[in-house]
A and B are shown apart, each in its own frame.
Chain A
Amino acid sequence: MEVFWFIAGNWASIVELALEHITIVGVAVGFAIVAGVPIGIAITQNQSIANAVLYIASIIVTIPSIALFGLMIPILSTIGHGIGWLPAVIAILLYSLLPIIRNTHTAITNVDPALREAARGMGMTSMQRLTRVEIPIAVPVIMAGVRTAVVMNIGVAAIAAYIGAGGLGVLISRGISQTDPRQLITGAIAVSLLAIFADWTLLKLQKLLTPSGLTH
């Protein structure tokens, strides 16, 4: 009940924090898509480079987020952005690369060789094959990677409140430090709902972007 009154009384600031949260994740994942999809396509040309890239990306994902922030603070301090939204965006971008690159790579390499041959047989250039056959088929799988990245990084962004990035994590961190269950529970529930909502929305989007010929 107390939580309810807290939410009612602080509605505006909760929404503001949520928007901050969404912005951080949105900007970072956006950049990750711009960088990751071309990388994912490029590495389909060479298996050992692909292995190396995916290996590095998987190591990065293994590093706990707060440790990654910790490792970046000294480096970004040299340009005066040790804490704040920049390290958060960079960390989330790095974490998002693995699912996006991996899914793009897998999707493109898994395109049925018969399709590729058919496309070549009807005289498509390799660029036409990529844009008209391979990418459309790969889009749903790439979207699944984006979805993984977004859901995972809504959690990372919550932790980024501890390096001053803002977002819904602020409610949790204040709730813990002030031993205020109202803020804490509000923050925890809000960030969970955001993750669940993002997961659901992106799943819908993923289905929408699947060419109707590929749905079963």
Chain B
Amino acid sequence: MQNMSGMSRMLSLVMVFALGIWVTSSGLLSEIAVYEEDILYLLKQHIILVAASGGAAILVGVPIGIWLSRPIMERSAEMIMQIFNVGTTIPTLAVIALSMTLLGIGFAPAFFGLFVASLLPIVRNTYTGLLAVPRHLKEAAIGMGMTPAQMLIRVEFPNALYVVFSGIRTALAVNVGTTPLAFLIGGGGLGELIFTGIDLMDTGMLLAGAVPTALLAVFVDFVMGQAQLHLVPKGVNPLR
């Protein structure tokens, strides 16, 4: 959070604490604890899915965004981005479902669906971030004799980094939020406990999936927020 005051910190602590008290007092903790082994196993699958698909989306999305922002793409880039923007409105469940019709069930369609869902925010932010680099910086860079590659690496990308990072953060939030659905197409993960828990109306099982899923999502977002704060250089970081 931008100006996370002490109050917000305290509130979040209180929220976690209250959740803890509720879970413990209602006797649910012991019901959840039954699934400890499952939780750990599925959490690992879950994290692998997030890391693999999210990582791939970064590795592919950033170069695509850079490529679209090059002068040579000027004419077609806007149209491609329009298509991408429509793409981002497609619900993630639909993306996952369509991935299944293409690739069947298992890790591959889950990975692919998550990859596609997280790709768009990264491409979009990389592209818009690079285009938003002020003209006069580029003019200064060209004027002092930088090659196009030097300008990209030393001027354009560092100045777009904050926006690129915001895109990665959004993408990972989408990714982590969608990963529970991977279970539906045989991709495993904590979704297994949640969906099975709902079907069986087994509250313990349900929470054994839901609580770690929620905590993981909050944790990933927190880590990304911190990373954005500390990894984006001071001169171009509005948070610092």
Contact = CB atoms under 8 A, between A and B. Distances in A.
Interface of A: 47-49, 51-52, 54-56, 58-59, 62-71, 73-74, 77, 82-83, 151, 154-155, 158-159, 162-163, 169, 172-173, 175-176, 181, 184-185, 187-189, 191-192, 195-196, 199
B11 A154 contact: no
A159 B4 CA distance: 32
A66 B90 contact: no
Contacts of B12: 55-56, 59
A66 B195 contact: yes
Contacts of B201: 82
Contacts of B100: 176, 184
Q: Is the interface of A mostly helix, strand, loop or mixed?
A: helix
A68 B206 contact: no
Contact of A70 (B89, B178, B179, B207): B207
Contacts of A176: 97, 100, 184-185
A155 B97 contact: no
A159 B93 contact: yes
A184 B97 contact: yes
Given A65-B177, A67-B194, 13 more contacts: A51-B7, A56-B11, A64-B180, A66-B180, A66-B195, A67-B217, A151-B89, A163-B198, A172-B94, A172-B97, A175-B97, A176-B100, A195-B91
B3 A63 contact: no
B173 interface: yes
Given A55-B12, A63-B217, A64-B214, A159 B197 contact: no
A77 B203 contact: yes
Contacts of A162: 195, 198
Given A51-B1, A66-B181, A184-B101, A73 B213 contact: no
Given A64-B213, A67-B213, A192 B94 contact: yes
A18 B2 CA distance: 39
Given A70-B198, A70-B209, A172 B177 contact: no
A195 B98 CA distance: 16
B191 interface: yes
B94 A73 contact: no
Contacts of A49: 7
Contacts of A82: 201
